[in-house]
Amino acid sequence: MSVPPREPRLPRAFFARDALVVARALVGCLVVHESPGVAARVARIVETEAYRGPRDLACHARVGLTRRTRTLLGEAGHAYVFVVYGMHDCFNVTCRGVGAGHAVLVRAGEPVTGLGEGVRLDGPGRFALAMGLTRGLDGADVTAPPVYLLSRAKRPRISVTPRVGVAYAGEWADRPWRFLDARSAHVSRPPRGALGRG
């Protein structure tokens, strides 16, 4: 059994920065989800992507303020959880500040505690599912329970590639805004034909 993590909790100021900065800084950090009746689920982030507001045509904020983007356009440090392809939840954390529309998508992690050894967290859908981060948590403050993040103990080796699954966004799809722990075996396997290397 693992020892409970003792790293400090990430404060709102951590998230109140450009998503590009936050996305890189989150690789290696821990996500904690405490829910009643089960052990706290803890995962180490090994892959993120930055989404940078209305001008970023791959970012949901491009459509302006709607019910879906209400959280995305709100205060930094909140969970932005949405459903994609009618079946998968994606867990993001809002960044920068009100109206910015910045967020970091957590695309993969590796199990730390409360998840079991064989559990796969590679891919945004699998990460959200295993961690129990469903749409009911959309808008939740991630600086306090039940969902919060912990600082990383050591700075990981980072690889950078373009974002996955955003080919529709034209030249914005080519921006190198995906960050991976270069030494982790738990990063997602990009769709066939996608650009990028580990």
Partner DNA sequence: CATATGATTCCA
Partner DNA sequence: GGAATCATATGA
Binding site for DNA (CB under 7 A): 49, 51, 58-61, 63, 66-69, 72, 80, 82-88, 90, 92, 103, 105, 107, 123-127, 163-166, 168, 188, 191-193
Give the separation between CA 8 and CA 153, rounded to whole angstroms: 9
Which amino acid type is present at position 112? V
CA torsion 157-116-91-142 (nearest 10°) is -90
Task: Please say which residue, 14 or 127, places its beta carbon nearer to DNA.
Answer: 127
Task: Please say which residue, 107 or 152, places its beta carbon nearer to DNA.
Answer: 107
Element (H, E) at 191: none
Phi, psi of 24, deg, nearest 5: -65, -40
Least separation in angstroms between CB 105 and DNA: 3
Task: Please say which residue, 3 or 87, places its beta carbon nearer to DNA.
Answer: 87
Give the separation between CA 141 and CA 133, rounded to whole angstroms: 13
Element (H, E) at 149: strand 147-150
Task: Please say which residue, 4 or 64, places its beta carbon nearer to DNA.
Answer: 64
Least separation in angstroms between CB 193 and DNA: 6
Least separation in angstroms between CB 13 and DNA: 21
Task: Please say which residue, 11 or 64, places its beta carbon nearer to DNA.
Answer: 64
Which one, of 196, 174, 181, 171, lies nearest residue 24 by Cα? 181
Least separation in angstroms between CB 50 and DNA: 9
Least separation in angstroms between CB 182 and DNA: 20
Q: Which residues contact 95 (CB under 8 A, 6 or more apart)?
A: 15, 16, 17, 18, 19, 22, 76, 102, 103, 104
Task: Please say which residue, 139 or 146, places its beta carbon nearer to DNA.
Answer: 139
Q: Is 30 helix (H, G, I), strand (E, B) or coil?
A: strand
Least separation in angstroms between CB 36 and DNA: 25
